[in-house]
């Protein structure tokens, strides 16, 4: 069973998504659009500071695949809203000062 924080976070993530089906045991939502997913990712990074793909996917399992998450993060990097370090942690661009070593994505970063 999910703890209270995870449940609250899940409710926050899904609040703007359309419910397709609901019964006492399950709720099915529409998948977020690319723009909705980008907003969700920005919100998660704002609240959690640094997260890797696995952590982001754990919040979004059932809503977005790892590929969609990677694609949206790639777009956010290109828009200079998100940065990634050498260890694979994503964070809001400008969150860390110049002393933090920033990993620059190659120009041909694969947007899956």
Pinpoint the alpha helices (H) of the chain.
Answer: 4-14, 34-48, 53-60, 66-78
pLDDT at 102 over 70: no
CA distance 64 to 99: 33
Alpha-carbon distance of 19 to 42, in angstroms, equals 22
Give the per-residue pLDDT at 34.
94
Among 13-22, 36-45, 51-60, name the one with the lowest average pLDDT. Answer: 13-22
Classify domain 32-92 at the CATH topology level.
Answer: Arc Repressor Mutant, subunit A (1.10.10)
Mean pLDDT of the chain: 81
pLDDT of residue 107: 52
Residue 45's SS3 state is helix
101 confidence band (pLDDT: 50, 70, 90): very low
For residue 77, what are the contacts with CB-CB under 8 A and spacing of at least 6? 83, 84, 105, 109
Q: Specify the higher pLDDT residue, 32 or 27.
A: 32
**Residue 62 three-state SS:** coil
> What's the average model confidence in pLDDT over 54-68?
92
Q: Is the pLDDT of residue 58 over 80?
A: yes
Which pLDDT value is given to residue 7? 53
What's the pTM value of the predicted model, to 2 decimals?
0.73
pLDDT at 18: 83
């Amino acid at each position: 069973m999910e703890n209270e924080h995870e449940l609250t976070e899940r409710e926050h993530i899904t609040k703007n998504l359309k419910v397709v089906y609901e019964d006492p045991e399950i709720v099915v939502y529409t998948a977020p659009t690319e723009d909705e997913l980008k907003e969700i990712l920005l919100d998660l990074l704002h609240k959690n500071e640094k997260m890797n793909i696995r952590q982001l996917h754990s919040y979004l399992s059932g809503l977005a695949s790892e590929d969609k998450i990677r694609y949206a993060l790639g777009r956010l990097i290109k828009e200079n809203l998100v940065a990634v370090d050498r260890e694979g942690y994503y964070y809001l661009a400008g969150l860390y000062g110049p002393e933090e070593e920033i990993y620059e994505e190659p120009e041909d970063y694969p947007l899956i």
